[in-house]
Structure 1
Amino acid sequence: MLLEVAAELFTLKGYGVTTTRAVAERAGMRQATMYYYFSGKDELFAALLEATAAASLGRARRLLAEPERPAEERLWELCHMEVLSLCADPSPGALYLLPEASFERYARFHELRKHLREAYLELLKATGAGCTPGADEASLRLRNDLMFTLVEGAVLTRRCDPARSTADLAQATADAALRIAGIDAARV
Structure 2
Amino acid sequence: MNSAPPPSRAGRPRASAENLNTRVSSRQQILDAAAALFSEAGFSGSSTRAIADRVGIRQQSLYYHFAGKDDILAELLSGSVRPSIDFVEGIEAWVPDELSPAGALFALASIDARTLRRTPHNIGTLYLMPEIQDPRYDAFRNQRRELRAIYGRLGAAAAHPDVTGTITEERIGAILIQLTEVVIQLRRDDQGATGDDDATIAASCLRVLGLSTAEISAAREEADRITALVQRSAAQPA
Using the size of structure 1 for normalisation, the TM-score is 0.86
Q: 1:85 aligns with which of 106, 110, 115?
A: 115
> Which amino acid is 1:107 matched to?
D
Q: Which residue of 2 aligns with 1:6?
A: 34
Q: Which residue of 2 aligns with 1:44?
A: 72
Q: Which residue of 2 aligns with 1:23?
A: 51
- Taking the aligned partners of 1:175 and 1:133, their CA distance within structure 2 comes to 16
**Is the CA contact (8 Å cut-off) linking 1:143 and 1:180 kept in structure 2?**
no
Q: Which is higher, the Rg of structure 1 or of structure 2?
A: 2
- How far is 1:83 from its partner? 1.0
Q: 2:183 aligns with which of 144, 154, 170?
A: 154
Cα–Cα, structure 1 residues 159 and 61, in superposed 2: closer, same or farther, change >3 Å? same
Stretches of structure 1 that go unaligned for 5 or more consecutive residues are: none
Q: How many pairs align? A: 185
Greater CA drift, 172-181 or 56-65: 56-65
- How far is 1:20 from its partner? 0.8
Q: Which residue of 1 aligns with 2:153?
A: 122
> Which amino acid is 2:174 matched to?
D
> Which amino acid is 1:14 matched to?
G
Percent of aligned pairs sharing the same letter: 31
- Taking the aligned partners of 1:172 and 1:99, their CA distance within structure 2 comes to 31
Matched residue SS, 1:60: helix
Matched residue SS, 1:173: helix
Greater relative contact order structure (CA < 8 Å, 6+ sep): 1
Stretches of structure 2 that go unaligned for 5 or more consecutive residues are: 1-28, 220-238
Cα–Cα, structure 1 residues 99 and 167, in superposed 2: closer, same or farther, change >3 Å? farther
Cα–Cα, structure 1 residues 169 and 100, in superposed 2: closer, same or farther, change >3 Å? farther
- Taking the aligned partners of 1:40 and 1:80, their CA distance within structure 2 comes to 33
Cα–Cα, structure 1 residues 89 and 45, in superposed 2: closer, same or farther, change >3 Å? closer
Matches within 5 A, 1:67-146: 67-90=97-120, 91-127=122-158, 129-131=159-161, 135=165, 138-146=167-175
- Taking the aligned partners of 2:195 and 2:130, their CA distance within structure 1 comes to 27
**Is the CA contact (8 Å cut-off) linking 1:53 and 1:113 kept in structure 2?**
yes
> Which amino acid is 1:8 matched to?
A
- How far is 1:158 from its partner? 2.1
Q: CA RMSD in A?
A: 2.2
**Is the CA contact (8 Å cut-off) linking 1:71 and 1:123 kept in structure 2?**
yes
**Is the CA contact (8 Å cut-off) linking 2:48 and 2:59 kept in structure 1?**
yes
Matched residue SS, 2:168: helix
Matched residue SS, 2:118: coil
**Is the CA contact (8 Å cut-off) linking 2:155 and 2:173 kept in structure 1?**
yes
Q: Which residue of 1 aligns with 2:194?
A: 166
